[in-house]
């Protein structure tokens, strides 16, 4: 610590101070929320089946969306990293659209393709899948707003794999599919895993798009909102604390696992 400050200029001191304020901006509200919650109300929230179900619903729907859409996102990311094609920049731009549009608008857009009048809604009905007010709809809403994180991370990961290695593997007689699974995918895996974690985390914390597609069953963010509007801050904070804690535990654990691997 002493060394850090001893030979640093005024510029570093100012930057450290400004950076510190920003960190405080992130930590202080969360810390305030934790400190204002009594142990009793926390116990009550953890004990409530309704709360536990909503957290579980958030976790598994986000995970299901991440896994399902990764089968489409990873091939697309590979093409974007490796191939030149017309309108590639447009495709890259389209991928980022869900990040920049309001999530309530995203929810309305998703709702438009899953109602009974839509093709997807009708097709789902034939197969016995209902989207609106259903986990299937929640999965789509979560995936819509979080998929750019996976595609972008995977694309950067594939781009960082030297193309020469893939070509050498081909000269050794491997088929392009084998090269993808034995060279490109393992070497890009860390980035893909990062994207996976980000997409999952972003999906499970999604509120705006989810509440439009499915008010019920309630995911944790919807329940926090519902308790806040119906009963006030006091009743929403314990649920928020439990959900944030679960998210943090998962996020930190996955980061540690990724670092170790």
Partner 1 sequence: MLVVDNISLRAGNFELKEINFRVDKGDYFVILGISGVGKSLLLESIAGLTKINSGEIILRGRKISDEKIQKRNISIVYQDADLFPHLTVFENIAYPLHSRTEKNIREKVLKAAEQTGIADKLERIPGTLSGGEYQRVALARSLASGNDIFLLDEPLSALDPKSKNDLRALLRKLNRGGITIIHVTHDYEEAVSLANKIGVMENGRIVHVASPEEIFKHPKSEFVAQFIGIKNFLRGELTAIPQSDLKRFSTNGINIFPLTNVNDGEAFLLIQPDEISISNSAESGSARNHFKGKITDIARAKIGIEVTVDIGCELISLISSEAMNSLELKIGKEVWISFKASACKIYK
Vertex 242 angle, CA 50 and 105, to 5°: 75
| Chosen residue from 62, 154, 183, 198 binding partner 1 by CB under 8 A | 183
Question: Judged by CB under 8 A, does residue 187 bind partner 1?
Answer: yes
Closer residue to partner 1 (CB): 59 or 169:
169
Closer residue to partner 1 (CB): 165 or 233:
165
Least distance in Å: CB of 81 to partner 1?
A: 18
Task: Specify the 3-state DSSP secondary structure of 132.
Answer: coil
Q: What is 21-76 written as a DSSP string?
A: HHHHHHHHHHHHHHHTS-HHHHHHHHH-HHHHHHHHHHHHHHHHHHHHHHHHHHHH
Question: Judged by CB under 8 A, does residue 93 bind partner 1?
Answer: no
Q: Tell me which residues in 97-156 interact with partner 1 (CB under 8 A).
A: none
Q: Which listed range, 130-138, 181-189, 198-206, 217-225, lies at the site for partner 1 (CB under 8 A)?
A: 181-189
Least distance in Å: CB of 152 to partner 1?
A: 23
- Judge whether 154 and 188 are in contact, CB under 8 Å: yes
Q: Which listed range, 26-34, 46-54, 63-71, 157-165, lies at the site for partner 1 (CB under 8 A)?
A: 157-165
Question: Which tokens belong to 144?
Answer: 């819509």
Least distance in Å: CB of 156 to partner 1?
A: 18
Least distance in Å: CB of 89 to partner 1?
A: 21
Closer residue to partner 1 (CB): 142 or 169:
169
Closer residue to partner 1 (CB): 21 or 168:
168
142's CB contacts (< 8 A; 6+ apart) are 61, 62, 65, 203, 204, 206, 209, 210
Question: Which tokens belong to 191?
Answer: 């980035």
Least distance in Å: CB of 182 to partner 1?
A: 8
Q: Tell me which residues in 161-180 interact with partner 1 (CB under 8 A).
A: 162, 164-165, 167-176
Q: Which of 115, 194, 124, 127 is nearest to 154 (CA)?
A: 194
* Residue recorded with tokens 């579980």: 56
Neighbours of 11 (CB within 10 A): 8
Residues that bind partner 1 (CB under 8 A): 162, 164-165, 167-176, 182-183, 186-187
């Amino acid at each position: 610590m002493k060394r850090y400050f001893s030979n640093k200029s005024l510029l570093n001191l100012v930057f450290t101070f400004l950076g510190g304020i920003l960190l405080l901006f992130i930590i202080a509200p969360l810390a305030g929320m934790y400190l204002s919650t009594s142990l009793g109300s926390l116990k009550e929230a953890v004990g409530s089946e309704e709360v536990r179900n909503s957290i579980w619903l958030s976790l598994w729907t986000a995970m299901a969306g991440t896994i399902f859409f990764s089968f489409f996102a990873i091939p697309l990311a590979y093409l974007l990293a490796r191939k030149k094609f017309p309108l590639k920049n447009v495709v890259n731009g389209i991928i980022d659209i869900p990040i920049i549009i309001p999530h309530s608008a995203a929810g309305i857009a998703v709702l438009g393709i899953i109602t009974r009048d839509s093709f997807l809604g009708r097709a789902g009905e034939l197969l016995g899948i209902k989207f609106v007010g259903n986990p299937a709809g929640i999965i789509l809403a979560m995936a819509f707003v979080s998929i750019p994180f996976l595609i972008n991370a995977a694309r950067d990961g594939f781009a960082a794999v030297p193309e020469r290695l893939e070509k050498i593997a081909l000269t050794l007689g491997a088929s392009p599919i084998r090269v993808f699974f034995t060279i490109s995918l393992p070497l890009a895996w860390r980035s893909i895993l990062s994207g996976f974690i980000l997409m999952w985390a972003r999906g499970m914390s999604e509120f705006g798009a989810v509440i439009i597609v499915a008010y019920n069953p309630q995911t944790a963010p919807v329940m926090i909102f519902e308790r806040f509007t119906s009963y006030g801050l006091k009743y929403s904070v314990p649920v928020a604390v439990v959900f944030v804690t679960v998210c943090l535990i998962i996020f930190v654990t996955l980061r540690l696992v990724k670092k170790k691997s």
